[in-house]
Amino acid sequence: MTMTLAYTEHLSETWLLERTYHAHLRNGRELSVPDLTSAMKQISTFSVPLSTWQEISQEEAHAAYQEGIPILLYGEHSWEHLQGATRAWSPNRHMRAIIYGTDVEQPEAVAGTNIAVCYLDLQRGTFSNATWKTWFSSYDDKIFTHDSERSAITFLGPYIQYPCTTHYTTIAVDGHVDNYADHVEAVQHFKTLPPQEVNAGNDLQIIFPQLCYYHEVTCPGGTYRLEFFGPHMDEQGYKVNQAAVYS
């Protein structure tokens, strides 16, 4: 954990567009931004359209969730290799030279902490990363009941929640765009779209259709598109009026 800046609406919008996640705790400190961001991006089927969170009580989280406000659950799982345990696979000296630039054997981590996150939203559903599914999924059906065993779980509510809609589209090779209400329907249509062979001089190129899931988030600075699956899913958010240029 680190000390934190005072959260503002401007910072929330900036962090949202740069695709980082921040969480302010009641003790005045902030969760590690790199660790939290990495954990949030491990949620493979969904991108959370909220950049800033703040710690709340279990009771506050339950009430907010029932009102349709998204909730984020955070937990940590510490691990260590037992003395004498089988050593994990590691590259040989030739592979080490390729990967690390030296054939000197790299020390193996003997302990660490995995970050678990679970996003709860009555409208969009529940999504979590692999660490949560491995170590905390048994709590899913009783997360809002009192249980001392869950003292390691931190409840977070949105600091600022901007209006957001989720969209699913397919883009054919001729540029035709179809919109769908859910990802299942979009995937089904995407599988029917054929690629196209194009002659480029002496080379033959194959152009493939595209499948795109994205959020449209309305912020004070405008309405932005945040792709969580598609050609720009690893890029910053961009204004909706730029979508035609980037698609």
pLDDT digits (tens, 9 = 90+) for 213-223: 999 999 999 99
Least confident of 99-108, 190-199, 230-239: 99-108
Whether this model's pTM surpasses 0.95: no
In the predicted model, is pLDDT for residue 77 greater than 70?
yes
Give the pLDDT band (50/70/90) at residue 55.
very high
What is the DSSP code (8-state) at residue 188? H
Identify the pLDDT of residue 144.
84
Of 77, 74, 76, nearest in space to 155 by CA = 74
Burial 196-217 (b: 16+ CB within 10 A, else e): eeeeeeeeeeeeebbbbbbbbb
| Dihedral sign (CA 76, 82, 88, 92) | positive
- CA geometry: angle 50, 51, 56, nearest 5 deg: 80
Identify the pLDDT of residue 247.
43
In the predicted model, is pLDDT for residue 92 greater than 70?
no
Least confident of 49-53, 76-80, 154-158, 241-245: 241-245
| Dihedral sign (CA 209, 16, 241, 127) | positive
Identify the pLDDT of residue 101.
67
* Stretch 77-106: mean pLDDT: 62
Q: What does pLDDT average to over the chain?
A: 85
Q: Which two tokens stand for residue 86?
A: 């089988």
Identify the pLDDT of residue 129.
96
